[in-house]
Amino acid sequence: MAERYYVVREDLLPEGILKTEQAKELLRRGEAATIHEAAERVGLSRSAYYKYKDGVFAMEQTSRESIATLSMDLEHRSGVLSKVLGMLAASEGNVLTMSQSIPLQGMANVVVSMDTTLIHGALPELLTKLRSLDGVKRATVVGRS
């Protein structure tokens, strides 16, 4: 069964869901150092936090995110992936997920999904920089949201 999503006015939501988002906001802003501290500050149990944390998002948070999925073919040499990740970090890209295939014939495919909201410059410029790195044989955008 496919996941379904709803937009619900805040005053209709149960208290546990509202407090979960408040706790997540404290963590995002660095106003709470741990989940325990954030949950305690908003008056929420940790079990309720864990129950809802992956399913509740503030509307403005989801509309700010821009996610791109990059596919790259990298030479199987020490330091190549590290350089790629360093470049993504330097451009303010935030890696969300990453997977790498087992290297075959000296090459490995790496797929990275990243939040591009804060990227300095355009995504095409980042791709050009990635392609110029020693050991990067191909870099393309395979998805955007």
* CATH code of residue 124: 3.30.70.260
Q: Is position 3 within any domain?
A: no
| Pair (16, 46) in one structural domain | yes
| Pair (85, 140) in one structural domain | yes
Query: What does the alpha-carbon distance between residue 39 and residue 48 come to, in Å, rounded to a whole number?
Result: 9
Q: What is the pTM of this model?
A: 0.56
Query: What does the alpha-carbon distance between residue 25 and residue 127 come to, in Å, rounded to a whole number?
Result: 32
Confidence at residue 63, expressed as pLDDT on a 0 to 100 scale: 47
| Pair (39, 56) in one structural domain | yes
| Pair (70, 125) in one structural domain | yes
Confidence at residue 121, expressed as pLDDT on a 0 to 100 scale: 63
| Pair (79, 28) in one structural domain | no
- Write the secondary structure of 79-100 as one string of H (helix), E (strand) and C (coil): CHHHHHHHHHHHCCCEEEEEEE
Phi, psi (5° rounding) for residue 78?
-60, 130
What string of pLDDT tens digits covers the 145 residues of the chain?
Answer: 667 777 788 889 999 999 999 998 898 888 989 999 999 999 999 999 999 988 887 766 544 558 889 999 999 999 999 999 999 999 888 899 999 999 999 999 999 999 888 776 678 889 999 999 999 999 999 877 7
State how many domains the chain has: 2
| Pair (104, 133) in one structural domain | yes
